[in-house]
With several copies, the nearest count.
Chain A
Amino acid sequence: MNKAITLEIPSQVEYLSLVRAVVASAASLDQSLGDQRIDDLRLAVSEATTNAIRAHARLDSNERITIRFGIDGDRIEVEVQDRGPGFDPETLDPAGPLTDTGRLEYEGGFGIPLMKILADEITIESADEGTTVNLVVYVSPPSEKSNN
């Protein structure tokens, strides 16, 4: 996929709203993507960027975060790349439903589950040099989705 737009931002929370503005603006270039799906993509990308900023903070890193947008006919793809410490997405322990005893003690753990629900496809590649999260939203409604 041709990555049409590239955005690099400092690893600072102040830039999250700018990233969301770019997602909304880029997604609206595709007239056929509904507002609801733009909201979904905006939140998913915001979550991935938040995790990237946290990952850099853990290394005290000043590196920038790279976000690539690709739009083609029937899908919008957004890739969020950091140079943080990496992690193993397979071994994440889901926090369990909020109604579980003690679950309210923990304020985190919503990011990756939300991305998984909001995006039509998600892949996370992570290694010691950093993490790349790839989010895809289909432009055509789910009923018209090809099998995958």
Chain B
Amino acid sequence: MMLTLSHSTIGNWTIIHVAGEVDMATGPQLRQEIVRHVSEGNIHIVIDLQNVDFIDSTGLGILVGGVKRARSNGGDFRCSGLSGSLQEVFSLTGLDSVLLSVDLNQDPSTWEPLNE
């Protein structure tokens, strides 16, 4: 079981595309990718989860870490492409309150701003 990672850019946003199952086996790969982007100064990140149909608590923790890393560097961290079952897990854990969803087909200027 492998995670497939790739990335693209929209304006000043880096989109990290994830495919596979995110769990304790594959999570470290994802964390590493996020850390790398932030350390390279790409602090506006969207995690595209369209091709992820399973994420466990380890994966949720890595996304929490992503939010923290991006924000503490003055950036932002969003997600997109949540399936029904991911949406359920995000709302059950309250992750949806700090990790806002965006629509990659819409221009970033229309994305809901952070209210801080």
Contact surface of A with B, Cβ cutoff 8 Å: 13-14, 16-17, 20, 28-29, 31, 36, 39, 42-43, 46-47, 50, 53-54, 97-99, 104-111, 113-114, 117-118
Give 18 CB contacts A-B under 8 Å: A13-B23, A13-B25, A16-B24, A16-B56, A28-B1, A36-B85, A36-B88, A43-B89, A46-B56, A50-B58, A98-B93, A99-B94, A104-B64, A108-B57, A109-B61, A113-B93, A114-B92, A117-B92
Complex contact A114–B54 (CB within 8 A) = no
Given contacts A13-B24, A118-B92, 18 further A-B contacts (CB under 8 A): A13-B23, A14-B1, A16-B1, A17-B23, A28-B1, A36-B88, A39-B88, A43-B56, A46-B56, A47-B56, A50-B23, A50-B56, A50-B57, A98-B97, A104-B68, A107-B62, A108-B57, A108-B61
| CB proximity of A144 to chain B, nearest CB, Å | 21
B interface vs A, CB < 8 Å? 1-2, 21, 23-25, 54, 56-58, 60-62, 64-65, 67-68, 71, 85, 88-89, 92-95, 97-98
Could you tell me the distance in whole angstroms from the C-beta of A125 to the nearest C-beta in chain B?
21
CA–CA, A54 and B23, complex, Å:
13
Q: Of A43, A53, A54, A98, which contacts B54 at CB under 8 A?
A: A43
B61, A46: Cβ atoms under 8 Å?
no
Cross-interface CB contact of A97 among B54, B57, B88, B94, cutoff 8 Å = B94
Chain B residues within 8 Å of A29, by CB: 1
* A43 proximity list for chain B (CB < 8 A): 54, 56, 89
Query: A110 — nearest CB in chain B belongs to which residue?
Result: B57
Whether the Cβ atoms of A16 and B25 lie closer than 8 Å is: yes
In the bound complex, residues from chain A placing their C-beta under 8 Å from that of B62 are 107
| Cβ-defined contact, B60 with A110, below 8 A | yes
Nearest CB of A to B40, in Å: 21
Q: Considering the chains assembled together, what is the distance between the CA atoms of A29 and B2 in angstroms? A: 10
